[in-house]
Amino acid sequence: MEQANLVPIPKLPPAGAGESMIHRMLEELRRALGKPVAERRWGMVIDLRKCVGCQACTIACITENKLPPGVVYRPVITEERGTFPNVSKSFLPRPCMQCEDPTCVPVCPVGATAKRPDGIVAVDYESCIGCRYCMTACPYNARTFDFGDNRDEGGEIQPSDKVSSREYGRVWKREKDSSPIGNARKCTFCLHRLERGELPACVSCCMGRATYFGDLNDSTSLVSQLAAKANATRLKESAGTGPVVFYLQ
């Protein structure tokens, strides 16, 4: 499997108006990368009060990871409350929670899904047998199966379906019977971007700056400060999985 041939990381330009948070997160990210992997603990904070439900994160994720139809890592759930004229709408982006104690890991019969030292739950595409037990075990439905479906129109496979994915820092050509087709797939916090000093695609593209990312082991990082706020909650706390995705209510 060939390694992803990526362009060098550009130097950061001076921060523009409203961009200081992105710059801060990038600097913190690069500082974390200087530490051994086991000393990092990636986490995400999503400010639900800022999310406008534009779904740009969903699309950015699909574009970044070259996701085929039916595979989605970060859908945005819309909830409507009340009846006219007293109606409100709220949005909840749902990436993989990268749980501290993930239920998807112990059920994998071949150990193809594992928790990395930096906390990201990764799938070894070349070992995954496609039994989908991990998908039944996830209390957030954060995994989707790659059925090998394409966006074909009139039987023609579209060029977008031929582009290789760069997940886990490798090139995954989309070919019949070869991974990731036939595998369970999930959000990796854009691990391939992190390792080259870039923020996850969903964080970079968020126009409301509602998504924050960084090292939870760094007490001075933005995510650590936000995750410690009194209004920070996690989904399905009762499941006991310890998600590292926090929501600000």
Residues that bind another protein (CB under 8 A): 58, 69-72, 75-79, 92, 94, 103, 106-111, 127-133, 135-141, 143-149, 176-177, 179, 181-184, 235, 239
For another protein, which is the closer residue by CB, 20 or 242? Answer: 242
Q: Which residue has the tokens 């760069």?
A: 166
Distance set, CA 64 to CA 58, 128, 129, 145, 209 (Å): 10, 22, 25, 18, 18
At its nearest, how many Å lie between another protein and the CB of residue 84?
A: 19
For another protein, which is the closer residue by CB, 29 or 97? Answer: 97
Cα angle value 189/183/169 (rounded, 5°): 40
Question: Distance between CA atoms of 159 and 99, rounded to whole angstroms?
Answer: 35
At its nearest, how many Å lie between another protein and the CB of residue 201?
A: 16
For another protein, which is the closer residue by CB, 139 or 208? Answer: 139
At its nearest, how many Å lie between another protein and the CB of residue 55?
A: 9
For another protein, which is the closer residue by CB, 133 or 196? Answer: 133
Structure-token pair, residue 248:
């600000």
Report yes or no: 218 and 31 within 8 Å, Cβ to Cβ.
yes
At its nearest, how many Å lie between another protein and the CB of residue 36?
A: 26
Report yes or no: 186 and 151 within 8 Å, Cβ to Cβ.
no
